[in-house]
Structure formats: structure tokens, C-alpha cells
A and B are shown apart, each in its own frame.
Chain A
Amino acid sequence: MPNIRLLKALVFAVCLVPFVLLGLAAFNLAGQSLGANPIEELLHQLGLWGLRFLLLTLAITPLGQLSGKTWLLKLRRMLGLFSFFYILLHFLSYAILDQGLSYTAIIEDIIERPYITLGMTALLMLIPLAITSTNGWMRRLGRRWKKLHRLVYVIAILGVWHFFWQVKLDTREPLIYAGILSVLLGYRLWLKFSKSRQITAKSQ
């Protein structure tokens, strides 16, 4: 088992790389650039990273179980919080840069554009998960904590769906994310059903 504290510090630094690169690009530093339509590019990249970290978080459990490297589970919370971090930045850049904090425009968007309705719902569901991610809240909620955090499956579906509905024509990229998500969710379903079958087999 590796030195967990060192590993966590390393993973933390790696997770910040997209943020640093986008920050540099936003100000055209170090050869980085967001191109001709910087707001759209920033929005798109932040959303993608949020989704990537979300899928990575969901991959930790199966990876740990299948490889037997249970220390992987110790990284799950950090990855989940990074997903929240990028998705929150995605929303903030939408609200502040794209919409200029025009409340009427934002509310109209949320009500009238289904893909934004989906994205907003996912973000709102993520907030309680981020808040209750601490050890204190885990203790306080006990069994209910696990139940609450199953919301992440719904959030991931909404997130990929949000991506799929947003693209103009080329759905290849969102379909790749949908494929990965189906594998990750399918693994859990398979596990659940095979376990319940074992239980019924034993009880007979």
C-alpha cells in the first residue's frame, strides 16, 4: 500500500492541472488560448472536466473491487469534490461571463431550455453531496449517508444527458461519455443482482 498522504497530495495537484491550464488560457498566458470564442470554450472545458471527474469518481469503486487495491477508495471523496469544483465553476462562468448575471435570462434559460434544466438539476443535487462529504456528516447521517449519496448515479445520468442535448449535431463525444457511464452503472446493477441471487439461493 502506497503512502496515502503523499498519494493524495499528488492526485490533488494533478486534479488542479486543468484549472491552472484554463486559467492561463483565459489570460492568454504561457502559450495557452481559449480561441476566438473564449467564453464558450471555457464553459465547455469546465463542463467536460466536471463530467470527467464525476465518471472517474464512479470508476473508483469498481476499480478498487476488481483490482483488490482498496486504497483507491481513499481517493474517491477528493475526486468527487473536484467534480463539484469544476461543475460549480462551469455554472459560475455561465451565470457571470455568459449571461452577465442577468437573473431574468438565467431563469428563462432554466425554465425554457431542457438541457439547462437538466444541468441545473444536477448541480442542485450535487450541493448536498458536497456538503455532507465530511467525516462529521458521514457519522451524523450514518446509514442514511449512503442512501443520500446514491444520488450521484442520477446526477451522472443528468450530466451526460445535459451534454447530449447541448451539442448541435455531432453526438459522438457525449455518446462516449454515455457508454462509459453505462459500463459503470451496469457493473453496479450486475453486482446487485448477482448478490441478491446468491442470497435467495442460500435461503432456499
Chain B
Amino acid sequence: MPSVKIMKNRITKTIHASEITDESVYLKRRHFLQLAGIATAGAAFAAIPGRSQADVKPLKTIPSKYSTSQAPNSYKDITTYNNYYEFGLDKDDPARYAKSLITAPWSVKISGECDKPGDYNLEDILKPHPLEERIYRLRCVEAWSMVIPWVGFSLGDLIKRFQPNSKAKYVSFTTLNDPVQMPGVGRKVLTWPYHEGLTIAEAMNPLAIIAVGLYGKTLPNQNGAPLRLVVPWKYGFKSIKSIVEISFTRNRPETSWALSAPQEYGFYANVNPQVDHPRWSQARERLIGNGLFVAKQPTLVFNGYADQVAHLYSGLNLRKNF
């Protein structure tokens, strides 16, 4: 019998289950988790008023070696505790108001320093990519975290298709900005449209994905449907939702949070327990779903993904480039 202590240790370690577990056992466990997840999702759907089962569709996925073995948060927590200011500032606003978002038809504009710019409809964007389940930790800059079973594919694989040229040093992303569908953009709390960016090296890192689903189903609107970025080693605000434009640029793009409060939010926004937010500590985080009586857990550098991404920042002063 593993003691509680051992279980706790497993949660804070970054070793992938695939590295310590026989592959077939690992896959079986993944499959079991998927089944369990889908069952939970079904129950949660029934519990959300005004949201019909028809809104999200099941997706076929293959497991990924990049998934964590940590237990995912409940579907309910993942879909009712969201920051998506286009639908309001409270955590439960997106679940309440994002129904007005129309995600089909959807097209993504590809622009800037690349050989294949143009307007692509969603089906064309997604078609060549097999969908993987990627169970990632998500660390919000507000010092809470979740474990989320995303469904998606490598951002790098998508980017290659548009053939960025040698001048492309950065990739910028833009969220839909429609005051009719998005009641929150009437208030200028951030500069709309929401925009984010990565260096091209960050974007090509295998951990960076475009997510189109979670818990084996298409994304609910409040989680950034129909497609969003997920960069698990950065604070959650970098993982931009409901993308309508991807642009390749020579210069570092401006980003929404860094524009609104440059002293508090930087371009890199890498998860770093040693670099505090000016107003709160980033050393520890509250894992959502733990209830009232579990203490915060330590935050890991690069959110536990240092092995895969630390090399991107060698020689960079992470305190200055926060």
C-alpha cells in the first residue's frame, strides 16, 4: 500500500509516467483514465443548466508521451472556473455567457512573414493533424493551478504548413473581438482584441499545442472554442483562446497583459517560483479541486516542464525577462 506521503510526492515530481512505467501498462492506464474522464464529463454536462449535450462532440484521440500522470481536475472545475474576460471578469462569467459565441463557421487568418498566408477555414486548419490527448498542468498567474486533459496537436506542425520565412522571429495570436458575441469587450479592461505572442523557438517546442478539446470532447466555448493555444510552462494568460489570426513577425509583438500592466506581466511569463508577482508570491500555488483543507503546493520552475523548455532561455535573465 503506498502511503499518502508517497502519493503526495508523486504529484510534485515531474517524471513522466511513460518514463517509469511499462508502455503497455501506461497506455492501459491512459485508456482507463480516458473512459473515467468521459464518464465524469457526461455527468457534469447534465449538471450545467442551459448547456445541451449537443454543444460539444466526442473526439478520437491518441495518448501522448508528454502527458502528466497526475489526476486531472473535474470537468466541472475546468469548465466553470475560467478567466476569459471577453465574457466577464468573474470566474463563473465565461461558463454563463460564452454560449453566445458562434464557433461554426470559423476561419483563421494566417499572415506576416510566411509563404502561405491566407484565410483558412477551421476544417482545413485541423484536417492533417491527428489529435492527441495531452494532460498538462496549467498554472495561472493568480497562483492557482489545474491539471487539464487537453485534446490537440503540435503548434509546430501547424506552423510548418504555412512555411514561415527566415524573417519570422515571433508568432503572434489574436482572439476574436466581437462585442455582439462577447459582452465583456464593451469594457476596456484590456486592449481588445486580446493578443499574445511567442518566439518562433517557443512556438516550435513540442510542448506547445493548439487545443481543440478537453476530456475527449470539443472545447466548450468558455475554454476557448473552437481552437486555442496551450503553452504549459507559461502562466495561463499566454494560452490565448478562440484564435482568429496567427501572424509571423520580425519584431516582438505586443501582448495584452503586458500592455495593461507592464510592471506586473511580461512577454515571457514563464512559470517561475523565484520571481514573484509585484503583489503576490509565486512560490506556491493552490491546486483547484483540493477543497478547503489542503495547503498550497510548491510551484515548479517552468511549471515542471524545465527538462523540455529550459534550454530555450539559456543565458536569459529570467528575473528581468519575466
Contact = CB atoms under 8 A, between A and B. Distances in A.
Contacts of A36: 76-77, 80-81, 91, 288-289
B292 A97 contact: yes
Interface string B291-310: 11101100000000000000
A1 to B, nearest CB: 43
A42 B292 contact: yes
Nearest to B141: A168
A37 B80 CA distance: 11
A176 to B, nearest CB: 15
Given A36-B80, A42-B292, A98-B296, A166 B92 contact: no
B285 to A, nearest CB: 11
A112 B292 contact: no
Contact of B281 (A39, A108, A115): A108
> Main SS of the interface on chain B?
loop
B286 A40 contact: yes
B45 to A, nearest CB: 17
A169 B189 contact: yes
A165 B280 CA distance: 11
Interface in A98-115: 98-100, 102, 105, 108-109, 112-115
A179 interface: no
A186 interface: no
A170 B288 contact: no
Contacts of B296: 98-100
24 contacts: A34-B292, A35-B81, A35-B92, A36-B81, A37-B91, A37-B288, A38-B291, A38-B292, A39-B286, A40-B144, A100-B296, A105-B281, A105-B283, A105-B284, A108-B281, A112-B276, A113-B279, A113-B281, A165-B279, A166-B279, A169-B89, A169-B189, A170-B89, A170-B189
Interface of A: 26, 34-40, 42, 97-100, 102, 105, 108-109, 112-115, 165-166, 168-170
Q: Which 10 pairs, one residue from A and one from B, show the smallest C-beta to C-beta distance? A: A100-B295, A36-B81, A36-B77, A170-B89, A38-B292, A36-B288, A169-B189, A37-B288, A37-B144, A97-B292
Given A26-B292, A39-B286, A105-B281, 11 more contacts: A36-B77, A37-B144, A37-B288, A97-B292, A98-B286, A98-B296, A99-B296, A109-B281, A112-B281, A113-B280, A113-B281
